[in-house]
Amino acid sequence: MAVVGVGIDVCEIARFEESCRRTPAMVDKLFTEGERGLAMRSLAARFAAKEALAKALGAPRGMSWHDAEVVSEDTGRPRFLIRGTVQAEADALGVRSVHLSLTHDGGIASAVVVLED
């Protein structure tokens, strides 16, 4: 397997939380129903993950935020469920494996995504 894309993003949690308070519809636009009930630090990390995924895919236009959902395995390990517009971009690049790492500490949430064929 070869790496076909890498993306990284950071998000200041307090600034993200203020944006969500100022524009409540933003939460519905960015997150699936399954993601919305999480703590703000977790939402910020998931936002960073979606941004990192878009960067790893080459920042294509027209991707839907809801087509990339971050879920947690029983072990707590995060992973993406991708569908629709995001799946189409991944397929076009020959992506077979998506690796995701999230963290939030010191007021910052960050994510790294690695795509392999």
CB of 57 closer than 8 Å to CB of 90: yes
81: tokens are: 């469920």
Instruction: For residue 18, give Cα distances in angstroms to 22, 42, 44, 47, 116.
Output: 6, 15, 11, 14, 35
| CATH number of the domain bearing residue 21 | 3.90.470.20
| pLDDT tens figures, 52-87 | 999 999 988 889 999 999 999 999 999 999 999 999
**pLDDT for 47 beyond 90:** yes
Tally the domains of the chain: 1
Q: How far apart are CA 44 and CA 17, in angstroms?
A: 8
User: What percentage of the chain exceeds 90 in pLDDT?
Assistant: 95
80: tokens are: 């993406």
pLDDT on residue 105:
94
pLDDT on residue 61:
85
Q: How far apart are CA 31 and CA 95, in angstroms?
A: 23
| pLDDT tens figures, 86-96 | 999 999 999 99
CB of 82 closer than 8 Å to CB of 90: yes
Q: Does pTM surpass 0.85?
A: yes
pLDDT on residue 62:
87
Residues of the domain holding 108: 3-116
Whole-number average pLDDT of the chain: 96
